[in-house]
């Protein structure tokens, strides 16, 4: 936390940036309609063939942007949660946000029917219920004396998650077949529903949360010492805890609203990058944003490579690739320590 970038951090940063850029190009390139790279560029600049323009700008680009945003948002939310809870196993779902957001979305579908899929009501419902679940965890999880107990919040989060998941399950069961597809969407994630009308508000809200989180990076670092030690060093504990919770919740809720629950990204990306370049949130947050964006972009490419017409749920891919990589890195780091 010297505030100076090391050569290693620069190398990690450059690698991730190249991965994101190449992944983005690849993601725009592959698809059922063949469009050459020069045509993709001219389509991005709103020139050239009308069909290519529609395919690139209205189908492939929103999909790419959804992956980039959700990856960046979830990873940064995970990094913040891990700092806040001083625990590398923390991830955004711990706050109850993702399960709450999924419940909100499913409620909206039940009330408004399938037509709501992709509309604002759905996103708003997901966002509202996600934040409500997080608020419930926050207030129920506080200790009786008014202080914030990390353990209480973790346990309350687990209970709220289980409860929301159960309600989603019940509703899906009663919705039968028509509900099954949206159940898969909300529980395993998908970039299929990404449209500009959804992405723009998500990007704005998430961008604000990222900025607030970054401004609190130093204070978040201090929480690694423990609440008492951080307070003694001058940290306003309540404020930074609230800011981190609220930002992580907002980031998770908007990505769930846009793409459903995509697991493992928020846990694995910050963890791997912390091993690679240190725990300082001033560098970890930007690196996590890039890393998460890269992971989801490639996961989406993989899901479409498996089946172009009916993409495999992206959450299944992230966990499928992420888990072995994670285990490999963990076993390696244990040897070096």
Partner 1 sequence: MIEAFDIHFSYAKSGAEILRGLSLSVADGEFVALLGTNGAGKSTLVNIISGFERQNLGRVLINSADTTKTSAIELAGMRAVLEQSFEPAFDPTAFELVLMGRYARTGALGNSDEDIAAAAESLRMTGLSEFADRRYSTLSGGEKRRANISRVLAQIYSDNGDYKGKNLLLDEPCAALDPAHSLLALKTAKALSKAGASVLCILHDPNQAFRFADKVALLKDGKIFFEGSPSEAANACMLSEVYGADCKITSAPDGFPVAIFC
Please report, as ranges, the residues that interact with partner 1 according to CB under 8 A. Answer: 1-4, 83, 86-88, 144-145, 218-219, 221-222, 224-226, 228-237, 274, 279-280, 282, 337
Taking the least distance from each CB to partner 1, the nearer of 144 and 176 is 144
Shortest distance, position 81 Cβ to partner 1, whole Å:
12
**Lookup result for tokens 């029917």:** 113
Taking the least distance from each CB to partner 1, the nearer of 97 and 219 is 219
Q: HSE on the CB side for 130, CA within 13 Å?
A: 32
Taking the least distance from each CB to partner 1, the nearer of 3 and 38 is 3
Shortest distance, position 273 Cβ to partner 1, whole Å:
12
Taking the least distance from each CB to partner 1, the nearer of 19 and 237 is 237
Q: How far apart are CA 238 and CA 60, in angstroms?
A: 42
Q: What is the CA radius of gyration of the chain?
A: 20
Shortest distance, position 330 Cβ to partner 1, whole Å:
15
Q: How far apart are CA 226 and CA 231, in angstroms?
A: 9
- Cβ atoms of 54 and 31 within 8 Å: the answer is no
Taking the least distance from each CB to partner 1, the nearer of 208 and 215 is 215
Q: HSE on the CB side for 311, CA within 13 Å?
A: 22
Q: Using CB atoms within 10 Å of the CB of residue 235, give its burial: 0 to 12 exposed, 13 to 18 middle, 19+ buried.
A: buried
Q: How far apart are CA 247 and CA 241, in angstroms?
A: 10
Taking the least distance from each CB to partner 1, the nearer of 194 and 210 is 210
Shortest distance, position 25 Cβ to partner 1, whole Å:
34
Shortest distance, position 221 Cβ to partner 1, whole Å:
7
Structure-token pair, residue 70 = 């959700």
Shortest distance, position 332 Cβ to partner 1, whole Å:
16
Kindly tell me the sign of the dihedral angle through the C-alpha atoms of 333, 334, 335, 337.
positive
């Amino acid at each position: 936390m010297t505030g100076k970038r090391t050569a290693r951090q620069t190398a990690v940063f450059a690698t991730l940036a190249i991965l994101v850029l190449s992944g983005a190009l690849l993601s725009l390139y592959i698809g059922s309609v063949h469009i050459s790279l020069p045509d993709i560029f001219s389509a991005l600049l709103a020139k050239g063939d009308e069909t290519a323009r529609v395919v690139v700008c209205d189908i492939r680009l929103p999909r790419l942007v959804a992956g980039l945003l959700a990856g960046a948002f979830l990873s940064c939310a995970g990094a913040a949660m891990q700092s806040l809870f001083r625990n590398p196993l923390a991830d955004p779902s711990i706050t109850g946000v993702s399960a709450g957001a999924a419940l909100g979305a499913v409620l909206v579908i039940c009330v408004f029917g399938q037509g709501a899929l992709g509309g604002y009501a759905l996103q708003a419902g997901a966002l509202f219920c996600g934040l409500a679940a997080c608020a419930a965890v926050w207030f129920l999880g506080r200790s009786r004396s008014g202080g914030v107990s990390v353990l209480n919040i973790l346990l309350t989060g687990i209970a709220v998650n289980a409860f929301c998941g159960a309600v989603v399950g019940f509703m899906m069961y009663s919705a039968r077949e028509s509900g099954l597809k949206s159940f898969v969407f909300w529980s395993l994630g998908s970039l299929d529903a990404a449209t500009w009308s959804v992405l723009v508000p998500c990007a704005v809200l998430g961008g604000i949360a990222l900025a607030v989180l970054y401004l609190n990076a130093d204070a978040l670092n201090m929480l690694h010492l423990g609440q008492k030690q951080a307070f003694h060093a001058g940290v306003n504990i309540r404020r930074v805890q609230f800011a981190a919770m609220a930002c992580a919740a907002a980031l998770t809720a908007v990505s769930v609203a846009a793409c459903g629950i995509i697991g493992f990204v928020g846990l694995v990306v910050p963890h791997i990058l912390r091993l690679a370049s240190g725990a300082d949130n001033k560098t970890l947050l930007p690196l996590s944003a890039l890393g998460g964006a890269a992971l989801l972009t490639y996961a989406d490419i993989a899901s479409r490579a498996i089946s172009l017409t009916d993409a495999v749920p992206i959450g299944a891919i992230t966990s499928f690739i992420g888990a072995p990589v994670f285990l490999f890195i963990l076993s390696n780091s244990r040897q070096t320590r």
